[in-house]
Structures are given as C-alpha cells and as structure tokens.
Amino acid sequence: MNRLAGKVALVTGTAGGQGRAAAQLFAAEGAVVVGCDLGAAGSEETVRLVRDAGGRMDATAPLDLSDEGAVQAWVDDAAARHGGIDLLYNNAGATRFSPIAETSYADWSFVLRHELDIVFLATRAAWPHLVARGGGAILLVGSTAGITGSRTNTRIAHTATKGGVVAMTRQLAAEGAPHGIRANCVSPGMIRTPATESDVLRADHPMHTIAQAIPLGRIGDPEEIARCALFLLSDEASYVTGANLVVDGGWSAILPG
C-alpha cells in the first residue's frame, strides 16, 4: 500500500477496462488520479468507484485526446489544481483491424491518430511539468502487435503504431534521463475488456479460441496489466527506464504448435 503516496497521476482512457483498473489501483496506492475519456458515463462511474473506496480522483469527459488544445488544457489544468504532475500513464487508444490490401488511407490515419498521435500529444503536454518537478515517470502502452506479426488478426496499422510506441519509449527514456524522467512501456497480449469482448473474442472471430495458444492457458485481466503499470510507475522501478514489459501469458515467447 501507499506505493504512489503523494503522487499526481494522469491516466488516459479511464472510462473502463485497463484504464479503470489502473485508476482504482493507483488511487488505492495513494495517488491523486486525474483521468479522462471520450465516454462521459463510464468516466463518471470510475470516479464514483474510486471515491467510494476512499481514493482521490477527478476526470474530464468527454475529452478528445487527438485535439491538441484540449489535451494541453487538460494537462495544464491538472498541474495547476494539484501543484504539479508526477506520473503519466498513456493508456487510451482506439484501433481498426484490417489486412494491408483492405486498409483504406482513412483507416490507416485513424489508427495512427488514435494510437500514436494521442500518446505524443499527452506526453509533450506533460513533459515540462515533469521537468519542473525534477523527475517522474511516463508509461506507454504497446502490445504484442508491436513486436510480432499475426496470421489470424490482420492489423497492419495497429502493428505499425504499437511498434512506434515501443520505439517512442526508448527515445523518451533517452531524452528524459537528464531530467530524472523515466519512460517505460507495458505491452499486453490478449486481455479481456469490453473492447476485446466485442471484437477479437467474439464467437465468430478466428481468435476467439486464442487461450488455447497461450502457455498460461487463459486470457488476461485488466487488473493484471494495472499491477505491472503500478510497478513501472512506482519508485520500486527507480532503475528501470526504456524497458518494454510484455504481459501476455507467454504468448509471444513460444512458437505455435
């Protein structure tokens, strides 16, 4: 407990899934959580759950993280109200899956905007506040898609963006080190969330039986990603920067069959 005591933690995409799990855990560990999401109802529910459990959280919703001015205002307002920023968890994202031959430029651009641009905008906005604080930590969310290809889930744009996120992590670690800013990445495999339940885990999707190919034999839970995020953002990971922690039940570590 209290591993984030006294920290101000910005978390994007807190209306549900992994973002909600992180907000609840970070608050339970003593952080003041500042969230945001496009979904107002889900965002309000997360804030209620955190406060009912005795935690401190506020959130802005709806917030379009691809809107440069809106992101800057969200970050600056959080810093002004809470006296600074210590942590940024770039959790939010939205994607579209398709093979390259069927990927329109509009779909390609949508994925880059909602999985790469939003990470850049939030990180750039938070950067001077972290520098002013004399350090802090940033966490990005990659994916197994950023380190492996897939024959069952055609996802050329998603693969490109998540590979980009992993590369951004390393550059942020290089640029942040002189300021005491650590930057790391957590790359989930298949996690059971409302988004995956309605897409790749549907009964008619080729990947709905994917648990059979995962060495640990099951789909992951959002709370399991949140616990890894907590470690990487906490002082327990004070000597960890530029790392990409793959959390996938061993999925990407073995050859199929």
Confidence grade of residue 118 (pLDDT, cut at 50, 70, 90): very high
Specify if 113 maps to a domain. Answer: yes
Give the pLDDT of residue 228.
98
Per-residue pLDDT at 220 exceeds 80: yes
The confidence band for 206, taking pLDDT boundaries of 50, 70 and 90, is low
Q: Residue 189 and residue 186: Cα distance in Å, rounded?
A: 10
Report the percent of the chain where pLDDT is more than 90: 84
Structure tokens at 86: 């210590």
Beta partners for residue 187, in sequence order: 246
Mean pLDDT computed over 99-112: 97
Chain mean pLDDT for the chain: 94
The number of domains in the chain is 1
Q: How confident is the model at residue 198 (pLDDT cuts 50, 70, 90)?
A: low
Whole-angstrom distance, CA of residue 33 vs CA of residue 10:
6
The reply to whether 155 falls in a domain is yes
Where is average pLDDT lowest: 131-140, 148-157, 158-167?
148-157
Q: Answer whether residue 73 shows pLDDT above 60.
A: yes
In a domain, 251, yes or no: no
Give Cβ neighbours of residue 194 (< 8 Å, ≥ 6 apart).
16, 17
Give burial (CB, 10 Å; 0-12/13-18/19+) of 238.
exposed
Whether 231 maps to a domain, the answer reads yes
Q: What single string gives the DSSP state of each residue in the chain?
A: --TTTT-EEEEE--SSHHHHHHHHHHHHTT-EEEEE-S-HHHHHHHHHHHHHTT-EEEEE-S--TT-HHHHHHHHHHHHHHHT---EEEE---------GGG--HHHHHHHHIIIIIHHHHHHHHHHHHHHHHT-EEEEEE--GGGT---SSS--HHHHHHHHHHHHHHHHHHHHHGGGTEEEEEEEE-SB--HHHHTTTTSTTSTTTTGGGGSTTSS-B-HHHHHHHHHHHHSGGGTT--S-EEEESTTGGGS---
pLDDT of residue 134: 94
| Reported confidence tier of residue 245, pLDDT bands at 50, 70, 90 | very high
Quote the tokens at residue 62: 């709806």
Identify the CATH number of the domain in which residue 226 sits: 3.40.50.720
Instruction: In whole angstroms, give the CA distance from residue 185 to residue 246.
Output: 9
What proportion of the chain, given as a percentage, has pLDDT over 70?
A: 97
Q: Write out the residue range of the structural domain in which residue 219 sits.
A: 8-246
- Position 208 scores a pLDDT of 74
Pairwise CA distance, residues 14 & 43, whole Å: 6
Q: Does a structural domain hold residue 256? A: no
Residue 151 CA to residue 209 CA, distance in Å, equals 14
86-100, 121-135, 206-220, 237-251: segment of lowest average pLDDT: 206-220
Residue 235 lies in a domain: yes
Of the candidate ranges 78-82, 164-168, 210-214, 233-237, the one whose mean pLDDT is the lowest: 210-214
Q: What is the mean pLDDT of residues 12-26?
A: 97
CB 212 within 8 A of CB 174: no
Q: Is residue 255 part of a domain?
A: no
Q: How many CB atoms lie within 10 A of CB 9?
A: 30
Please give the pLDDT value at position 87: 98
Per-residue pLDDT at 254: 87
In this prediction, residues 246-254 reach a mean pLDDT of 92
The band of 26, judged by pLDDT with boundaries at 50, 70 and 90, is very high
pTM: 0.93
**Any domain includes 257:** no
Predicted confidence (pLDDT) at residue 120 exceeds the cutoff of 80:
yes
pLDDT at 202: 75
Instruction: Check residue 199 and give its pLDDT.
Output: 66
Confidence (pLDDT) at 209:
79
